[in-house]
Chains A and B, each alone.
Chain A
Amino acid sequence: MTMNTVKFEKLPDRLPPVNTVGWVAWVKQNLFGSVSNTIITLLFFYLIFLYIPPFLEWSVFNANISGSDRSICDENRSGACWTFIKVRMEQLLFGLYFAQNPDQMWRPIMAFIVFGGLLTPLAIDRTPYKKWLLLILLVAYPIFFISLVGGGVFGIPKSDASEWGGLLLTFTLAFVGIVLALPLGILLALGRRSKMPVVRSFSIIYIEFWRGTPLITILFMASVMLPLFFPSGVEFDKVVRAMIGITLFQSAYTAEAVRGGLQALDKGQTEASMALGMGYWQQTIFIILPQALRISIPSIVNTFIALFKDTSLVSIIGLLDLLKIAQNSSRSLDWNGYDIEAYMFAGLVFWIFCFGMSIYSQKLERKLDTDRNVE
């Protein structure tokens, strides 16, 4: 008798219904999930159809970029006038001095390149010697920057800070603000958590005072009151006055960011260092600050974003930063009537920097978060 072997063979799986996988399901779930969802989707499609094509036509397809004066733009008003931005680019980026002396333009360009070269490895996780790099950026770079862009040494022609402008000035003010405000802010944050009542209350008063006042009032104070504070004969440049105002203002915000880091730190760290017999400054410098600062980097970056945007206020006290130069150019006889282009360009430059920094700070925040979860 022969055994009838029945062979079972697995048939291939049937595919899931089309409307539960792939892009069909995605569209169904995310765009047409319910009646109200469908209405919202259609509304947005309508809005996109209404506004995006004309905008693209204006800013890209019909835009003018050739030539070097307004005649081309005046002939074709249906498109944006990027010629204007192209012609004024040097002013917008480096200010009047460097726009008038194109042979000196390599100085700010090189300063920016070096800055980028120092900053990029800092944003990458695996870079070794990050601490030293940061130290170079915060201490050595400003000296390099001043001697290169300011000139007057090594046979480089001199250019006063009052002659800087555009993005260069915006960048300088923001960078000076953060570099000088950092040590001040750290001291204030430590002061606010000090056990000495006088130190603590002075720190609180200082921090809350600057945080309660709008920067524009402080800039007014810096430009009007600062010369009055000192005996006659002591003169400050306009830019320096703005720098002092910005630094004092920024230090209060930095202090709050650092305080957040100090508070987030485990109390055991202090207690352990006390048990080892360390004094206050030993504890602070070797145990507390390295950890607290690391935690507070995202918030420090956030305060820096706010500062970078706020530097545009110096245009109100008459400094020629990026925004002011954009405004002035759009009011000059050569180019008046092209305000939108000027503001859009300045806005785009600010946006690229701020958005980049905010992406970085978000990334860092997530990383710190996962670090803590692993522990």
Chain B
Amino acid sequence: MVKGIIAFGQYFLLDKIVGRSPSNIYQNPKFRSAIIQAILVFIVFYTFYSLYQTTVFNLEERGIKTSTSFFDQVAPFKVGFSPFLNFELGETTYIEVFYIGVLNTLLVAVLGIIAATLLGFFIGILRSSNNWLAQKFALIYVEIFRNMPLLLQIMFWNFAIFLAFLPPPKQSLEFGAFYLNGRGLQTPVPIVENNFLFKVWLGILIFSIIASFIFRNWAKKRRDQTGKSLPVLGISLSVIIIIGISSFYILGKPFAVDLPVLGKFNFKGGGQLPLPLFSLWFALTVYTSAFIAENVRAGIASVSKGQIEAARSIGLTRPQMVKLIIIPQALRVIIPPTISQYLNLTKNSSLAMAVGYEEVVAVWANISLNQTGQALIIIAMTIIFFEICSLFTSFILNIYNRRIQITER
């Protein structure tokens, strides 16, 4: 017994404080790992430092002094598409070109995310439908577009299809107030006539959306207590639309919609998504929707059969079952990978260069870099922009994952 305690004490002392064999400090795991880490830190920082030194030296040898002073220089090239910032050749500076590029990237990303989500859910639902033809159609769609390079698809749609077959403006294809022709997609745009009243109108709209969320929570609580449910979505939507339209007229039409009208040779009024943007948007949508459709299929398949049988046995109708049982559980599986697809779409929008859409990689990492030679700063800024997008995405993902974990208990 006593012997045992002594042995344990010895073992504990030697192991925890001086290491298993006190004669040889190199075999102490803590010491060893500290040394390894110190060496690693040294190597990594030294590598970065020397790379930085050589790069700056090499740039200087080529007559380029690495500094951010070129930001305020006037950019000597034309950026054709900048719907949010005004571009004036001979006035716009490099840093403004960067902002234009970033905004153009975000524009195509947002357009693509909206369209790809709608199309992806549609295809995914077809894929899980019990109609054999619809199922096989969706399967073929997914397998075709998922397994070809996106760049090839962008070029195919732009050069082989749209540029070759879309008609000139005179014979544009008409989709309501939208017109598609060889130059791009003509769209209606809102024109703000009274800035203050427009903001008031926006405020009213946002307020009614918030109110509808409060209403939803109240209805949910009421359902939990009394068992009576309300058609929340229908009520909220119609109230928001009624409030939006009536306040629009009460405030005296704070904005007008400018419709594209066909003039003698081209369209007047409205906005235009130039053909490269349209092709890029189209290709990104088709490509990403194939991945989203696969997520949707997996999500629907992940709802176990027992859930559906249980829902039937407690007498839920089919719409109730879809709304209350299938969708909430399927969305849990669908949403996380779909958010990653949104990030992929944003990163993939950088392929725009192949068709000449002016997003951040094209105008900044390519044209501006070639003009100024400031490789270090320009590449770093481009990368930082995408890293921010990526961090933002994982931030949203983490929040979402935490939320569904709590409700899961």
List the A residue with the shortest CB-CB distance to B50: A229
Q: Report if A195-B33 is in contact (Cβ < 8 Å); known contacts: A212-B390, A231-B54.
A: yes
* Interface presence of A343 (CB below 8 A): yes
Interface residues of B in 146-162 (CB under 8 A from A): 146-153, 155-156, 159-161
Which of A6-14, A108-116, A220-228, A261-269 makes up part of the contact surface? A220-228
In the complex, which residues 179-211 of chain A have their Cβ closer than 8 Å to any Cβ of chain B? 195-199, 202, 208-209, 211
Stretch at the interface among A97-105, A287-295, A310-318: A310-318
A229 and B152 contact, CB distance less than 8 A: no
In the complex, the answer to whether A358 meets B137 with C-beta atoms within 8 Å is no
A347–B156 CB distance below 8 A: yes
- Complex interface: chain A residues within 8 A of B153 (CB): 347
Q: Is A2 an interface residue (CB 8 A)?
A: no
Q: Does B371 contact A (CB under 8 A)?
A: no
- Is A33 at the interface (CB under 8 A from chain B)? yes
A310 pairs with B149, CB closer than 8 A: yes
Q: Count residues of B near A (Cβ-Cβ below 8 Å).
A: 55
B246 within 8 A of A: no
B164 close to A (CB within 8 Å):
yes
Q: How many A-B residue pairs have CB under 8 A?
A: 156
User: What B residues does A120 contact at CB under 8 A?
Assistant: none
Q: Cβ of B37 < 8 Å from any Cβ of A?
A: yes
Q: Quick one: given A230-B54, A355-B143, are A214 and B160 in contact (CB under 8 Å)?
A: no
- Given known contacts A213-B387, A214-B386, A217-B361, is B55 in contact with A343 (CB within 8 Å)? no
Contacts of B235 in A (CB 8 A): none
Binds B, one of A36-44, A127-135, A144-152, A154-162: A36-44
Known: A40-B129, A339-B160, A343-B156. A232 touches B151 (CB 8 A): no
In the complex, what residues of B have CB within 8 A of residue A305's CB? Answer: 147
Q: Which residues of A contact B177 (CB under 8 A)?
A: none
Residue A278 is within 8 A (CB to CB) of chain B in the complex = no
Asked if B211 lies at the interface with its beta carbon under 8 angstroms from chain A, I say no
Interface centre among B153, B155, B161 (most CB of A within 10 A): B155
Residues on A with C-beta less than 8 A from B208 are none
B350 within 8 A of A: yes
Nearest CB of A to B164, in Å: 7
Q: Which residues of A contact B386 (CB under 8 A)?
A: 212-214, 217
Indicate if the CB atoms of B361 and A350 lie closer than 8 Å. no
Question: Which of B44, B148, B160, B387 touches A212 (beta carbons < 8 Å)?
Answer: B387
Bitwise interface map of B from 136 to 147 toward A, beta carbon under 8 Å scored 1, else 0: 010000011011
Given A209-B387, A221-B379, A30:B155 Cβ within 8 A = no
A169 interfacial contact with B, CB 8 Å: no
Verify B37–A199 contact, CB threshold 8 A. yes
Cβ-neighbour of A37 out of B58, B130, B161, B379 (below 8 A):
B130
Contact B390 A211 (CB under 8 A): yes
- B347 interface hit (Cβ, 8 Å): yes
CB-CB under 8 A from A330, the residues of chain B are 159-160
Contacts of A197 in B (CB 8 A): 37
User: Which listed residue, A209, A212, A224, A312, touches B375 by the CB 8 Å rule?
Assistant: A224
Given A309-B149, A323-B155, A351-B148, are A217 and B379 neighbors across the interface (CB < 8 Å)?
yes
Question: How far in angstroms is the closest Cβ of chain A from B10?
Answer: 20
Q: Which residues of B contact A231 (CB under 8 A)?
A: 54, 58
The answer to whether B54 and A354 have CB atoms under 8 Å apart is: no
Q: How far is the CB of A167 from chain B (nearest CB, A)?
A: 13
Let me know if B133 and A41 touch, CB within 8 A: yes
Residues in B with CB closer than 8 Å to A31 are 131-133
- A323–B160 Cα distance when bound, in Å, is 13
Report chain A residues within 8 Å CB of B144. Answer: 351
Q: Is A327 an interface residue (CB 8 A)?
A: yes
Determine if B382 and A217 form an interchain contact, defined as CB atoms under 8 angstroms apart.
yes
B151 contacts A312, C-beta separation under 8 Å: yes
Nearest B residue to A191 by beta-carbon distance? B40
Contact B151 A220 (CB under 8 A): no
Q: Is A213 a contact of B383 with CB atoms below 8 Å?
A: yes
Per-residue interface assignment for chain B, residues 152 to 194, with 1 indicating a CB less than 8 Å from any chain A CB and 0 otherwise? 1101100111001000000000000000000000000000000
Which chain A positions have C-beta within 8 A of B375?
224-225, 228
Pairwise interchain contact B351-A30, C-beta atoms closer than 8 A:
no
Q: A347 CA to B347 CA in the complex, in Å?
A: 22
Which of B37, B44, B153, B361 has the largest number of chain A CB atoms within 10 A?
Answer: B37
A216 at the interface (CB under 8 A from B): yes
**How far apart sit A33 and B129, CA to CA, in the bound complex (Å)?**
12
Q: Would A217 and B350 count as touching, CB distance under 8 A?
A: yes
CB within 8 Å for A40 and B33 given contacts A343-B160, A347-B148: no
**Which residues of A approach B to under 8 Å, CB–CB?**
29-31, 33, 37, 40-41, 44-45, 195-199, 202, 208-209, 211-214, 216-217, 220-221, 224-225, 227-232, 305, 309-310, 312-313, 315-316, 323, 327, 330, 339-340, 342-344, 346-347, 350-351, 354-355, 358
A selection of 29 A-B contacts at a CB cut-off of 8 Å is A31-B131, A44-B133, A45-B133, A196-B37, A198-B37, A199-B36, A199-B40, A211-B390, A213-B383, A213-B390, A214-B348, A216-B351, A217-B386, A220-B365, A224-B379, A225-B55, A225-B375, A232-B58, A310-B149, A312-B152, A313-B151, A316-B151, A323-B151, A343-B155, A347-B153, A351-B144, A351-B148, A354-B147, A355-B143
Known: A31-B132, A213-B387, A358-B143. 19 other contacts (CB 8 A): A41-B133, A44-B134, A196-B36, A199-B36, A199-B40, A214-B350, A216-B353, A312-B149, A312-B151, A313-B351, A323-B155, A327-B159, A347-B152, A347-B156, A350-B149, A351-B144, A354-B146, A354-B147, A358-B147
